[in-house]
Amino acid sequence: MPITDVPTISLATSVPRDPDALVVGLAETSEGDVLVGLPDEVAKAINKAFGTDLATVAGRLGGSSKNGRAVVVAGPGGARIVVVGLGPIDVTPEQVRRAVGSAVRLVAGLSAPSRQTVAISLETVEPQVIKGAAEGALLGAYSYRAAADVPGIGQFVLVSANRRPDAKQALDLAVTTAKAVNQAREWVNTPANLLFPETFADAARATARAARVDVEVWDEKALEREGFGGILAVGGGSTRKPRLVKLAYAPRGARFHLAIIGKGITFDAGGLNLKTPDGMYTMKTDMAGAAAVIAAVTAIAELGLRIRVTGWAAMAENLPSGSAYRPSDVLTMYGGKTVENGNSDAEGRLVMADALVKSAEEKPNLVLDVATLTGACMVALGERVAGLMARDDQTADLVLDAAEAAGEQFWQLPIPEDARPKLESKVADLKSTGDKYGGALTAAAFLSEFVPEETPWAHLDIAGPSFNSGAPYDYTPAGGTGSAVRTLIALAHALAN
């Protein structure tokens, strides 16, 4: 499950000789579209060969300055020149990230005798734009089980006039971040017969230890001994027993402690509240929150950020059987609170509740949970925007700022006062589900019951953007997307002292 054969990327002050493909930009200005990053000698060769400039040739092929619109021009001598739209000339890192991702996906799908060298020339100078371009390249090059007859890309050369140390620092950050995102994607894409709680925990252990992160794993016996009633109930219907994984990174001098908790349902059939066949097909992806947490903690450690981070991944397989938990069962959660199970397909909040209580024992400064939690959030925000819910706006703003810096889309939703009363139970401390309205908000209200009131906390519902069931776009592949990984790393950067 670890990713192999990953393209390398380096900085250069000029376009290397004879790359297999050259990516240049087309940007929108008040005076019309202009080419960005095209070397003079290539421009002259294009004019000589076609009798006009590259922008005109690209336009004839359907190219434009629209962000991400990419076309290939067969240049003199067989050179492939990819002209990609950047949007407005005052580019943001995300504009560049998307544009480069689109261009790279186009190049990666082209036939070639061997793995290609791609030069990216977009006049990137500012560190954040360099980072965006590099991430776009590495994220755009990823595909799960790429076709054997398409060699793909072996090397990127990012052209930049910036010779300062901050350029290399931006590149290194991009490489580590993209590696983490792509690893999360790989786990999400792995079939559930190969990735189940035990093997997922093993993969987490191997990945984290390589980054010198301490790892502890609770198996089903340890979970039962310590009273993790939510995780045990959800995993009780499967012969593949649940796991709880803790990843601890605590560098010297760290003053801030961030705890991040991820939902790791390696397959969700809905339990006795069985999903429909169509609704079940993509449920190998219900562990995307845990994948994001494991990948992010590893990346934070590899970057050496001066912040203490503890990751928790609650792993289970939610299947129907004679030993499966039932609607109306009363579960005793870790810490002693009792929960009446309202619906066995609302399993994520149960495993997360156990892990939230456990994480709070270490008294972190901030708790963040990440989960593919509710279809209701997808109804509200669609497939490309994740939901954010928090007890206070200061915490929400902190996460939203990190998401904006990372280039991920989150939208704050409320936890209204009327959400908690919907969880009242006559036989337990609370019920796991409410009525049919505002399901994402009710789920957040449930989770908040397992985080101490004095602890800043935010909940990220990534049910929509964690998996792309359609065609690839920008730097986003079909399948697992690695949603929330970049935001978690950016948040750790902001909090590190």
Please name the helix (run of DSSP H) or strand (run of DSSP E) that holds residue 261, with its range, or none.
strand 257-268
**Maximum Cα–Cα distance across the chain:** 82
Q: Which two tokens stand for residue 92?
A: 């943001």
Q: What angle do CA 193, 288, 364 make, to 5 degrees?
A: 125
Residue 33: alpha-carbon gap to chain centroid: 33
Determine contact, residues 402/491, Cβ cutoff 8 Å. yes
8-state DSSP, 252:
T
Question: Which candidate, 144, 151, 117, 125, places its Cα nearest to that of 17?
Answer: 117
Q: Spell out the residues 6+ positions from residue 167 whose beta carbon is closer than 8 angstroms to its own.
A: 11, 127, 130, 160
Determine contact, residues 54/22, Cβ cutoff 8 Å. no
Please name the helix (run of DSSP H) or strand (run of DSSP E) that holds residue 118, with its range, or none.
strand 116-121
Residue 243 phi/psi, 5-degree rounding, is -145, 155
Query: Would residue 44 show up in a list of annotated catalytic residues for this protein?
Result: no
- Candidate list 241, 263, 349, 431, residue with the active-site label: 349
SS3 track for 50-77:
HCCCHHHHHHHCCCCCCCCCEEEEECHH
Write down how long the chain is: 497
Residue 90 phi/psi, 5-degree rounding, is -80, 80
SS3 9: strand
SS3 112: coil
- Candidate list 66, 275, 384, 420, residue with the active-site label: 275
| Distance from C-alpha of 342 to C-alpha of 334, rounded to nearest angstrom | 18
Which amino acid would we find at residue 29? T
The pairing of strands 153-159 and 70-74 is: unpaired
Determine contact, residues 325/233, Cβ cutoff 8 Å. yes
Residue 453 phi/psi, 5-degree rounding, is -60, -30
| Distance from C-alpha of 92 to C-alpha of 453, rounded to nearest angstrom | 38
Residue 3: alpha-carbon gap to chain centroid: 15
Question: Which candidate, 189, 190, 213, places its Cα nearest to that of 293?
Answer: 213
Query: Would residue 349 show up in a list of annotated catalytic residues for this protein?
Result: yes
List the catalytic residues. 275, 349
